[in-house]
Amino acid sequence: MNPDLETAISGENEVPSHRLRWLLLILLTSVLVLVGTVWYLTSSSPTTEQAKRDQEFNAKIQQIVEKYKNQPFVFTLVPDALTTITLPPPPDSDASDLENYQANQVELSSENITNIDNDTVLTAFTFEGFKYGYFLEFNGSKDNIYQLHDEIRHLVLHFNKQYQRQPLSDRLPDIQHYGTEHPAVPGNDDVPSTYPSVRVAEGFAVAALLTRLDVDHGEFYQAVAEDYAKRGVQYGWYGQSDIEAARSLVSQYFSQFDKNVDISTFSNF
């Protein structure tokens, strides 16, 4: 034992008071460290317990995600869409698509390429002077409109999975590819969104919806949709046959939509 500490404990008054206080403090600290070490080794620390709780929480969240991810999407606007809308297989020959691509490619501008990431239905279409994205976000009926978009996208995914047609740039040589194509529905990156094209189908669907809300400008919306579809060909994403498949899908969808839905429930802007 430390001589000074031994003297202090024995009661002999040979240690200056300040040294005694330091020695007792050292002794107390050593005891606390020893007790803390024993407690840590024999029980779970707060940090360990928190990590365990976080792990259990994350596991529960993942279970919920998996549960809903595996649930089938529900069509509410056109409930029978999956069973009543049909598309024939894509044509065996790409000759017509190649010819159409070559005719349209010359119109692709450097400005189009620069702005390709912003070339979406949200910015390409306008309604009453507002970008479609603004119209959608501030529309009191946006839940209905989002449902329409989701139904079109899941319909497209259904046929994308059935036909698995590759993008135009993968089907034909010497096709320049620009930008990034996205799947019809997130989480399906391995399914080409080509036949029918999800870009085109969504564009035609927006044009069809806006035409029903603003009949006087229907031709304008249709023209915007055609230009929007053509730019995708210029990007090398799909061909004219993929456009026509999207056109057919949207036409069949809205023929049932008009019978089932009160269009006034889609306009609260």
Both tokens assigned to 48: 């360990």
DSSP 180: -
pLDDT band at 72 (very low <50, low <70, confident <90, very high): confident
76 token code pair: 């509410």
Q: Which of 147, 143, 144, 136 is nearest to 269 (CA)?
A: 136
pLDDT in tens, 211-245: 999 999 999 999 999 999 999 999 999 999 999 99
pLDDT average, residue stretch 49-67: 61
pLDDT of 44 above 80: no
Q: Number of C-alpha atoms within 13 angstroms, CB side, residue 197?
A: 25
Predicted local distance difference test score (pLDDT) of residue 66: 56
As a whole number of Å, the end-to-end CA separation of the chain is 85
- The pLDDT assigned to 129 comes to 87
CB 162 within 8 A of CB 89: no
Give CA–CA dist 82/58, Å, rounded: 35
- What is the model's pLDDT at position 14? 42
Cis amide prior to 196 (ω within 30 degrees): yes
Give the predicted TM-score (pTM) of the model. Answer: 0.75
% residues pLDDT > 70 (the chain):
74
* pLDDT tens sequence across 101-127: 999 999 999 999 999 999 999 999 998
Q: pLDDT tens digit string along 136-153?
A: 999 999 999 999 999 999
Buried b or exposed e, range 243-264, using 16+ CB within 10 angstroms = bbbbbbbbebbbebbeeebeee
**Which tops the pLDDT comparison, 155 or 7?**
155
Across the chain, mean pLDDT equals 84
Name the nearest CA neighbour of 193 among 169, 232, 160, 233: 160
Task: Go through the chain and tell me how many residues it has.
Answer: 269
Assess whether pLDDT exceeds 60 at residue 8: no
**Single-letter amino acid code for the residue at 158:** H
Task: Give the DSSP H or E segment for 24.
Answer: helix 17-42
How large is the average pLDDT for residues 7-36? Answer: 49
pLDDT for res 267:
78
Torsion of CA 194, 200, 205, 210, to 10 degrees: 170
Per-residue pLDDT at 9: 42
Residue 47 pLDDT: 66
206, 132 in Cβ contact below 8 A? yes
Structural domains in the chain, sorted by start = 3-68 (no CATH), 74-266 (1.20.144.10)
